[in-house]
Structure 1
Amino acid sequence: MTDRITLKGLRARGRHGVLAFERAEGQDFLVDVVLELDLRAAARDDDLAKTVDYGVLAGRLVEVITGKPVDLIETLADRLLDVCLDDQRVRTATVTVHKPHAPIPHEFADVSVRMRRGRADH
């Protein structure tokens, strides 16, 4: 199966990080999500109820990003994966969390964590 729904560059402000100023000031996080599922019924019937509503999904992901702080973006990615896999139609989900303002004392383009889970891992 190669059907996918992709959401790229979802931006929300969170207070995740190990350092105190990250928790106090917060920073923007960018999230990319790829859902693998069978989209044939949705396409055939032109029916939103037969697919994942990516607007609703985005709202739930933002709730996690803006919610309870965690130290590691690995933990944040894992929580976001749980949201993606809550929909039983999703067979596999890949979440990438970008931390563009990570406290690195050198110039860098991006820091991210990518995690992929299937239904059996959920």
Structure 2
Amino acid sequence: MDRITLTGLTATGYHGVLTEERRDGQSFVVDVILELPLETTSDDLTDTVSYADIADEVEAVITGEPRDLIETVAGEIASRCLAHERVVRATVTVHKPSAPLTQTFADVSVTISRSRDE
């Protein structure tokens, strides 16, 4: 299966279970891998999925309705990706690099993979 990958899409969202997360917001970083058959001879955008459209949809979910869990955010992004007819599988990683932990850490993330037949 062919792939289109978007890495490091960043926007401010208000997701989290803590009051300050909902009030102050924070950056979320999203990676998306779309698996689909790619037509490489037509050179026509209608034979693929516009990564600009996917980026817009990812940003809309990040900046949209606040969710308690990044698992839910990842699921909403995957659902939007699978709404594109050509996409067979979507793997979504949502990074929360400013998660409210007292320990020193580099990143907190959730990765999900969804397909049309699941």
Unaligned runs of 5+ in 1: none
Per the alignment, residue 100 of structure 1 pairs with 97
Partner AA of 1:10 in structure 2: L
Whether 2:112 is the aligned partner of 1:112: answer no
State, as a whole percentage, how many aligned pairs show the same letter.
56
How many residues are aligned here?
Answer: 118
Compute the displacement of 1:49 (Å): 1.2
Runs of 4 or more, structure 1, over 2 Å off, are: none
Q: TM-score, structure 2 length as denominator?
A: 0.98
Separation of aligned partners in 2, 1:49 and 1:12: 27
| Larger helix proportion of the pair | 1
Coordinate RMSD, CA, aligned: 0.6
Compute the displacement of 1:97 (Å): 0.1
Per the alignment, residue 80 of structure 1 pairs with 77
Partner AA of 2:24 in structure 1: E
Which of 43, 47, 50 pairs up with 1:46? 43
Q: TM-score, structure 1 length as denominator?
A: 0.95
Separation of aligned partners in 2, 1:22 and 1:16: 6
